Structure 1
């Protein structure tokens, strides 16, 4: 019988090996992960189009799939073009905004009669504004630069997806085992689809409302900040705070008065508070959020491995791990530890018995 110490040692070695492979294979894995997300979104949107009634008829499968593919392509192209244009302009203006922020700190120090004036480098590292812009640009550049490879991966996934079920079925020795595995896979897929469809819809609404507020007040880069709010909304609590801080700080250095700053901070804060605390929990139906400690550890882990892209994908990836682990008795403790309240649903023990 294997000793507990040996099991723990082997588990640690396996985790270290997986982490090393994720770092070494970053250039290969990142485009494939993005391709999987795009492929999943295309199929989800295709199912949505297929359910839309047109009189007594519904769209055929190939028509709904073609519409989904065209929608994803057009939206991605337009959004990336707008974001890249905003980032390019912001990168040019970043030194000016940083000097204005330093002047603002000097004015506050003079107003408060401080013997030791407040300086930007006391609160933030040197050249923080250009580096933040560079980090944002690297995210979009990584996605756009890998577009050709992502397109190839998506194309092959689409061409071969009709064979996935047949291959999956032949992994099992009996029809009963295959049926049980398909049932578990379907349940996991429903949970993931439920979470990400609602989360994506809420993120889109958050990004649009953020852009509209900034456009109404007259702050530049409204589309960029709306896109940032959309991405950061996948990160509970922390993302909402950051998406409010960025445009608020820019408003403080862009305008000569505090009126626009207060309007943007209060307006965006009200949007994030209302959506995050009332609308999203009501739509979600169950609490699938992660604990704060898990969020920070996940950000540190995926950010260290995959950079900015990993920081954006960290929470969705961890949520998927929770959803999958919660469906199996042996891995359910992992899901409980990662979740915020421990309420992760009941495992499907009967189906697992069929798989043995």
Structure 2
């Protein structure tokens, strides 16, 4: 009989090897992961279109799937164009904003009567504003460059998805095990669909409200900051904070008074607080059953491996781990530790609390 120490050692080595492979194969794995997300969104949206009431009729699957595909393609194209235009203009204006920021540091040092004036380079690296904008533009360029590879992956996933169930069933030696595996997959799908549908809805609301507030106050790049708020809202805890900081800092250097800065910081803070602490928890409920500490640790872990994409995916990936681990006796303690309440449902073949 294998000793517990040997089992634990082998488990740690397996986790380390998987982590190393995820880091080394990042350039290959990430486009495929993004393609899986897009493919999942297409199917989810097609499911929504197929259930739209049209009297006695419902849209055929082919029509609803085509509408979902066109909707996501059109939305992605429009958003990418808006972000690219705004980033290009921001890159041109970045040196001006940096000079304005340096002037503010000089004024503050003068008003405080400091013998050694505070300079921007003392706190931040040289040319920090242009470099941040360049980094953002580089990220968009990288995403656009990998779009063709993502499109190819999505195309093959769409073409082969009709055979997935048949292949999946034949992986198992008995119908009972296949049934348990299908039940586990259905539970994972329910949890992830629940998470992404609500998270996407509240993220869209956050992005739209952010853009409207910035347009009303007159801050430029409102559409860009709205998209940033939408994207960052997927990142637990710190995403909403960063979504408020970026436009607030621009308001400091763009306006001559602190009034717009206070209005933007207050308005965006209220939006993030209301949606993040009142609306989203009520809609999300306790369906995810994840510990807050586990969410923060998974945020750091996946962020270190896959950057921003890992931060966005940290919650659904952890949900999948909890659900799968809860279905096997050997890995069930892991699911209990990762959960919030310790209730993770039954073993394989049984149903229980959603992870």
Alignment TM-score, normalising by the size of structure 1:
0.91
For structure 2, the 5+ residue unaligned runs are: none
Matched, 1:245 2:249: no
Residue 199 of structure 1 corresponds to which residue in structure 2?
Answer: 199
Q: What secondary structure, in the 3-state scheme, does the structure 2 residue paired with 1:57 have?
A: coil
User: CA, structure 1 residues 190+295, in 2 after alignment: closer, same or farther (shift >3 Å)?
Assistant: closer
CA RMSD of aligned residues (A): 2.2
Cα shift at 1:98: 1.8
Q: Give the match for residue 114 of structure 1.
A: 114
Residue of structure 1 equivalent to 2:142: 142
Q: Does residue 317 in structure 1 map to residue 317 in structure 2?
A: yes
Decide whether the 8 Å contact of 2:215 with 2:222 is kept in 1.
Answer: yes
What is the distance in 1 between the residues matched to 2:348 and 2:156? 35
Contact 1:105–1:120, Cα closer than 8 Å, also in 2 = yes
Question: Of 341, 344, 348, which aligns to 2:346?
Answer: 348
For the residues of structure 1 that align with 2:76 and 2:246, how far apart are their CA atoms?
Answer: 23
CA contact (8 A) 1:180 1:351 kept: yes
Q: What's the counterpart of residue 157 of structure 1?
A: 157
- Secondary structure in 1 aligned to 2:188? helix
Sort the Cα spacing of 1:186 and 1:87 in 2 relative to 1 into closer, same or farther, 3 A. same
CA distance in 2, matches of 1:203, 1:352: 34
Please tell me whether residue 100 in structure 1 is matched to residue 121 in structure 2: no
1:229-274 deviation line (CA, Å, top 9, x unaligned): 1111011221111000000000000011111111110000000000
Q: In the aligned structure 2, how far is the partner of 1:226 from the partner of 1:289?
A: 30
Shift of 1:210: 0.6
Partners of 1:337 and 1:124 lie apart in 2 by 40
Q: Are the counterparts in 2 of residues 236 and 289 from structure 1 also a CA contact under 8 Å?
A: no
Q: Is the 8 A contact 1:332 1:347 kept in 2?
A: no
1:74 corresponding residue in structure 2: 74
In the other structure, the counterpart of 1:301 is 301
What do residues 37-57 of structure 1 show as CA deviations (whole Å, max 9, x unaligned)? 000000000001111101111
Please give the alpha-carbon distance, in whole angstroms, between the structure 1 residues aligned to 2:311 and 2:131: 16
Of the structure 1 ranges 217-226 and 178-187, higher mean CA displacement relative to structure 2 is found in 178-187
Report how far residue 324 of structure 1 moved.
Answer: 4.0
C-alpha displacement at 1:323, in angstroms?
Answer: 4.5
Q: Could you tell me how far apart the structure 2 residues matched to 1:80 and 1:164 are? A: 32
Give me the whole-angstrom Cα distance separating, in 1, the residues matched to 2:138 and 2:330.
40
Cα distance in 2 for partners of 1:45, 1:76 equals 14
